[in-house]
Amino acid sequence: MEYLLHIDYLVQAAHAPENCELQKLCRKGGVRGWVLSCAVSNLHSILTAEWGAEEASRRIHHLLEPLKLLPVSPQEIRNALERGTADYQVSLAALAVRGWNLKGVVTLVPGNFNSEGVMACSPDEVVKLANAGGEPVAGVPLLNIPATYHEILENLEQEWMEVVRSGHYILGPKVSLLEERIAAFCGTPHAVGVSSGTDALLIALMAAGIGEGDEVITTPYTFFATAGSIARLGARPVFVDIDPETFNLQPDSVERAINSKTRAVMPVHLYGQCADMDAINRAAKAHGLSVIEDACQAIGARYKGRRAGALSDYGCFSFFPTKNLGGLGDGGMVTLGDPELFEKVRILRVHGSEPKYYHKMIGGNFRIDAIQAAGILAKLPFLERWTEKRRTNAKLYDRLFRDRGLDGKVGLPPEKVAGHVYNQYVIRAGSHRDALRTYLQKNKVMTEIYYPVPLHLQECFRYLGYGKGDFPEAEKAASETLALPISHELTPPQQEHVVNAIADFYS
């Protein structure tokens, strides 16, 4: 429940904060309250006339503690002025509510907004609705990325303005700072920011010397970029089957697939759970192979006390907006322990140039934009809390499914290695998968299939010579699995709605 708090309400709340039930709800998180940044100066003038500047500042500071300031653009100010209505503040508030997709505005005089086309509520109406359990669940999106804006907005505005004012738009201090913080978060000495998760995989393969005629062992059950990056370098993706519980590579199959052409292994920490890295690393070390973690879905995931990205030669991450740590566009990162490999990746990122305009190797333009680095920096302080919320959501799903007796009808995702970060919460629905998805969609529960066609059956990889039945576990997973909403924005009532809909389907 996100509302813009109009200035008339703010004046009242500043006068009697101890009696303000809506403010108490905002402090508890039951309501998300927004305040137009330009309203603060107006509020300060009003209160200063009554109490003086010092007392006005104190009261406003206390009032704003549980709230978030909403920036107003110059264009919004112009639009409000051009409307020529009796109350400029009302027009500006209505524009903000529509522009930021808020539920409505809290005001002492809702009738003032009758002609503005937005919902206007009294403080008592919002309190009553919140105490009644909030609004009924009308539907559950797979993701609700804008729902995090109330947490990150102030950080984001600050980070972005620092970039804009600095003039450092390509690489520069923001990118360096993000690299330092991601390396520290993952527990690696080095990190290199790149243009996407796909390019993180590609540049790691390039640094490992993978090229024409080489073979790289990986999984057929993953996003296309995993095998696509191998093929782009002229190397051959060699697929092995997956563990039916974790959906990750079977280490025994990796060992059997190694031959004289094998140069690397690329395990995927699918859905946010780490692959069996001890066994994979043992097999790779015995044959002198590089290991490249596709950790694009697994930032923060743990494996026996260590984090994804610090478990092999290279860790590759994506900051695609839907990830647990998503940017506001594309971005990626490579984490490394070896200083020589770090230097090589860093040089490959800028066309293989070191020093500038001198090229000992052929690289590419793999740089992350400074503006994207700033956006990720704004979100990074929230990552661990958001991850814990995903884990809490997964546990609640598990309990709700078991309470409804559904754990015998759908397969729940196990946490075989402590540290799952649940980029996805994926159930198995067997032969009912497609029918269940259709039923959920009719009940306004959005889902996704990751992934409907395993890579060995994709048309572009037909030249590899694989056929149906070669990797039965991957093929079975592709036909049975369904990802449910799991992000940290998800609420318990929404999860109950999801499970109730699935129970109705099976009843």
Q: What is the pLDDT of residue 36?
A: 93
Residue given tokens 């998800």 in the structure block: 490
First to last CA, the chain: 33
Q: 164 near 158, Cβ under 8 Å?
A: no
CATH architecture of 2-135: 3-Layer(aba) Sandwich (3.40)
- Compute the distance between CA of residue 254 and CA of residue 324 in angstroms, rounded to an integer: 28
The tokens describing 91, both together, are 């027009």
The tokens describing 439, both together, are 């039923």
Q: What is the pLDDT of residue 154?
A: 85
- Compute the distance between CA of residue 287 and CA of residue 370 in angstroms, rounded to an integer: 39
Q: What is the pLDDT of residue 201?
A: 98
Rg (CA), the chain: 26
Q: What is the pLDDT of residue 348?
A: 98
298 closest CA partner among 317, 314, 281, 279: 317
- Compute the distance between CA of residue 177 and CA of residue 196 in angstroms, rounded to an integer: 18
3-state SS, residue 315:
strand
- Compute the distance between CA of residue 4 and CA of residue 179 in angstroms, rounded to an integer: 36
37 closest CA partner among 168, 158, 200, 208: 158
DSSP letter, residue 208: T
383-506 homologous superfamily: Aspartate Aminotransferase, domain 1 (3.90.1150.10)
Q: Is 84 exposed, middle or buried (0-12, 13-18, 19+ CB in 10 A)?
A: exposed
CA 175 from chain centre, in angstroms, equals 19
- Compute the distance between CA of residue 303 and CA of residue 317 in angstroms, rounded to an integer: 16
Fold classification of 151-382 (topology level): Aspartate Aminotransferase; domain 2 (3.40.640)
83-91 long-range Cβ contacts below 8 angstroms, 24+ apart: 85/115, 87/112, 89/6, 89/7, 89/39, 89/42, 90/6, 90/116, 91/116
Q: What is the pLDDT of residue 136?
A: 79
Q: 388 near 272, Cβ under 8 Å?
A: no
| Residue spans per domain, the chain | 2-135, 151-382, 383-506
- Total count of residues recorded for the chain: 507
238-245 long-range Cβ contacts below 8 angstroms, 24+ apart: 238/262, 239/455, 239/456, 239/464, 239/466, 239/470, 239/471, 239/474, 240/471, 241/471, 241/472, 241/473, 241/474, 242/471, 242/473, 242/474, 242/477, 243/276, 243/473, 244/473, 244/476, 244/477, 245/414, 245/416
pLDDT in tens, 155-166: 898 999 999 999
Q: 280 near 250, Cβ under 8 Å?
A: no
95 closest CA partner among 491, 87, 161, 281: 87
Q: What is the pLDDT of residue 220?
A: 98
The DSSP code sequence of 142-197 is: S--GGGGHHHHHHHHHHHHHHHHHH---BSSHHHHHHHHHHHHHHT-SEEEEES-H
Longest dimension (CA), the chain: 84
- Counting as low any pLDDT under 70, the low residues of the chain are 84-85, 134
